[in-house]
Amino acid sequence: MGAEASLGAIARAKGGELLEKFPLNPAQRKVMRAMADCRSAALGGHRDSCDSCGYEHVFWNSCRDRHCPGCGGQARERWLDARRDEVLDVPYFHVVFTIPDILHVLALYAPEVIYAILLRCAGQALLDLGASRLGARMGILAVLHTWGQTLVFHPHIHCVVPGGGFSRDGRRWVRVPKIDFLFAVKALSRRFRTLFRSAVRQAYADGTLKISTAVVADAQALDLLFARSYRTDWNAYAKPPFGGPEHVLGYLAHYTHRIAISNRRILSFDGQTVTFSWRDYADHNASKTMELDAVEFLRRFLQHVLPPRFTRVRYYGFLANRDRAVNIAAARELIASKRPLRPRASIPDPRLCPQCHKGTMRRMAPVDPQCNRTWFDTS
């Protein structure tokens, strides 16, 4: 019989071997430990009993790490509840910004700086074209993803953009002229490329961007790297609108709280090899499977651990945090929206007894942690 097919099980089985072969930074070690300990005796828990049928069960505590595939559900629901009051009755567009593979090395060596530049430049490119092509101040929600379907390193930005914005005087709502078209992707990608190069050069000049001299020796080498990157397309992909307000929340949940891979995609783990599903976008989204050595699988996953306290969901334009509530209210008034949002489905009560499905699980006693740490130490 194969081993349990989950990230936690793979981390527990192969974490020590991974540390012997590859150096991990403290943030990666912390995530590794969290995944291995999540919902296990290592974190302790509590013994609960059903007040109806008397069924007893030990519930192990969760790690609550944002990279853990078993956690994050409640945080996602709270975030979506807060967003319900911010959705406008307009079409929404999905725009994706990527950088050429040759520039990925910058993000690998200085992730916190490059990720922030990626987010800022994607938002600014949309704001600039909104001002020049529509004469409007738009709003953007930008989300950083760093992975491809096979867990390779692939930093890119997903943007969710309402179809319109405020006029320059703020008295009118300017709609996108064509319902199925936002901006020309070539103009968008060129503006993004210009902004990104300028921001990276400035960060390197003022010392914010610290790159190994073996990768970028000086400013001239950085310019050469960018010159080589211009030989390939800087892709900006704008999808047709995916629907009105009733579709936006589900769409946001799919992108904003996604992690590199979920346990659902891990099909099997035999103790040495991990088999997982992936979607081949180059082959009409065909569903395929891939086998990886478990240590290589963990190494790929840990490439996508974010710097501590890094915010990967950011807002720009009239959705910027400072004035978002006021701007949303003003936009609703200008749009004259009267359509209510469709009620969201109720969330199952986690305290419902899994045995009789009638009673409530009541906490009876705590269960102390039971773990003898070895390679989990983050020091």
Per-residue pLDDT tens over the stretch 155-184: 999 999 999 999 999 999 999 887 777 888
Rounded distance between C-alpha atoms, residue 76 and residue 82, angstroms: 10
What separation, in Å, do the N-terminal and C-terminal C-alpha atoms of the chain show? Answer: 35
pTM for this entry: 0.90
49/354 Cα distance (integer angstroms)? 11
Instruction: Answer yes or no: are the C-beta atoms of 175 and 241 closer than 8 Å.
Output: no
Reduced to 3 states (helix: H, G, I; strand: E, B; else coil), residue 339 is coil
Yes or no: say if 346 and 352 are a contact pair by the CB < 8 Å rule.
no
Listed residue (164, 91, 88, 83) closest to 338, CA to CA? 88
Q: Which residues pair with 237 in a beta bridge?
A: 96
> Is pLDDT at 267 greater than 80 in this prediction?
yes
pLDDT at 261 over 50: yes
Residue 25, C-beta contacts closer than 8 angstroms, at least 6 positions apart: none
pLDDT on residue 378: 43
Q: What is the pLDDT of residue 243?
A: 66
Alpha helices in 141-244 (DSSP H): 185-205, 219-229
pLDDT at residue 56 above 50? yes
Retrieve residue 22's tokens: 């590859």
**pLDDT tens digit string along 90-131?**
888 999 999 999 999 999 999 999 999 999 999 999 999 999
Res. 345 pLDDT band, cuts 50 70 90: low
Q: How confident is the model over 142-157, as a mean pLDDT?
A: 96
The number of beta carbons lying within 10 Å of the beta carbon of residue 170 is: 12
**Quick one: which of 27, 51, 32 has its CA closest to 42?**
32
Q: Which of 298, 208, 297, 306 is nearest to 259 (CA)?
A: 306
